[in-house]
Amino acid sequence: MNGQRAVRITDVAREAGVSTATVSRVLNGLGSVDPELAARVRRAAEVTRYVPNPNGRALRRQRADVWAAIVSDVQNPFFTSLVTAVEHVAVRSGISVMLCNTDEQLDRERSYLTTAVAQRMAGVVVSVTSEATSDLSALLAAQVPTVVVDRRVHDFTGDTILLDNVEAGRLATEHLLELGHRDIMCLAGPSGVSTTEDRLQGVRQALTGAGLTLDPARMVRTDLKIDDAEAAVRAALADPRNHPDAIFAMNGPLTTGAYRGVQASGLRMPDEISLVGVDDDRWTQMVSPAVTLVAQPVEEMGTRAAERLVALAADPASEPVHLLLPPHLLVRGTTSAA
């Protein structure tokens, strides 16, 4: 009932009959301490069930054993997989991960970045809300180890681990072109998000290679929400005499929405319309037809990012890494010849 006061380092010191400095040295493995004393300290810590206060420690050390994982949508399996991968590495390093969900909102992102700096976090993995307006300079100024993943950021010179998004767009489009499709609808995100921008560029390259151009009327911007995508696809397929013969949905939620939109339209995949999605989520293999899509190596992205944070902690001056991971086209059931 009555909240017993927590055990402090002083209590351990008293129990072991040494000073707090010695306790700290033993428990952190710094300096050198007589083995017999060290044993006594360790026993005392056991007995008293001592747990260091992270706030006191972080205050003094000017570094908290916490990483922030800042993502724009925790409901998107891509990001939960990413965070899970980061977390696996974190656990091994005795670090906690703070999940920061921005919901694609710049002000929430800003607030999390401020917190990360204020807390003197040991690292940040961030997929930004916008290439142009997101601003990571505070992290750099405060020398917080930072790895940008998934989406590019303007003016950021640190570590970045991205998918080769141009290649992803090209893979998807070339696949559709090879099947003979010419009228391809593209579902993209808002113009500030580098992933869909780059994928669009890949689309354009592929079209150009085939002597075609992207019809602006077939390019739809959405807020990366499932329902947006569904509505857009329903609208595009409403006119039976003038609808695209293929759709490229450029991320996970858009793929979900597009699939539902096609289902709602009554058109049959792949005979009457083809669909290429992105992200190999579980459901894409359970539906019928299964979704043809471009898969990203998510786990690798998360693991690499986390490992870079570990490396940056060891050597803050280490040369920034810029990785471009390869996408893979998985041909399944939603695409066929025109």
- CA atoms within 13 A of residue 334's CA, in its CB half-sphere: 31
Partners of 329 in beta bridges:
294
Q: Is 336 in the site for a second copy (CB under 8 A)?
A: no
Q: Report 147-186 residues binding a second copy (CB under 8 A).
A: none
Q: Which is nearer to a second copy, 165 or 256 (CB)?
A: 256
Taking the complex as a whole, how short is the minimal distance between the CB of residue 146 and DNA, in angstroms? 20
Q: Is 84 in the site for a second copy (CB under 8 A)?
A: yes
Phi, psi of 61 (to 5 degrees): -75, -20
One-letter amino acid identity for 303? Answer: T
Task: Find the largest Cα–Cα distance for the chain.
Answer: 88
Q: What Å distances lie between residue 101 and 91, 108, 207, 225, CA to CA?
A: 20, 8, 36, 15
> Binding marks (x or -) toward a second copy, 270..299, rule CB under 8 A?
------------xx-xxxx-----------
> Binding marks (x or -) toward a second copy, 250..269, rule CB under 8 A?
------x--xx--x------
Q: How many positions of this chain bind DNA (CB under 7 A)?
A: 33
Q: Is 77 in the site for a second copy (CB under 8 A)?
A: yes
Dihedral sign for Cα atoms in the order 164, 168, 169, 173: positive
Q: Report 27-56 residues binding DNA (CB under 7 A).
A: 27-28, 30-34, 37, 50-53, 55-56
- CA-to-CA distance for 20 and 26, rounded, in angstroms? 10
Q: Which two tokens stand for residue 248?
A: 């490229």
Q: What Å distances lie between residue 164 and 15, 146, 294, 329, CA to CA?
A: 58, 20, 11, 13
Taking the complex as a whole, how short is the minimal distance between the CB of residue 23 and a second copy, in angstroms? 16
> Binding marks (x or -) toward DNA, 157..196, rule CB under 7 A?
----------------------------------------
- The three-state secondary structure class of 185 is strand
Q: Is 137 in the site for a second copy (CB under 8 A)?
A: no
Q: Which is nearer to a second copy, 19 or 137 (CB)?
A: 137
Instruction: Decide if 292 contacts 331 (C-beta within 8 A).
Output: yes
- CA-to-CA distance for 301 and 292, rounded, in angstroms? 22
Task: List interacting residues with a second copy (CB under 8 A).
Answer: 3-4, 6, 51-56, 58-59, 64, 66, 69, 74-75, 77, 80-81, 83-84, 87, 91, 96-101, 108, 112, 114-115, 117-120, 141-143, 226, 256, 259-260, 263, 282-283, 285-288
Task: List interacting residues with DNA (CB under 7 A).
Answer: 5-6, 8-10, 17-25, 27-28, 30-34, 37, 50-53, 55-57, 59-62
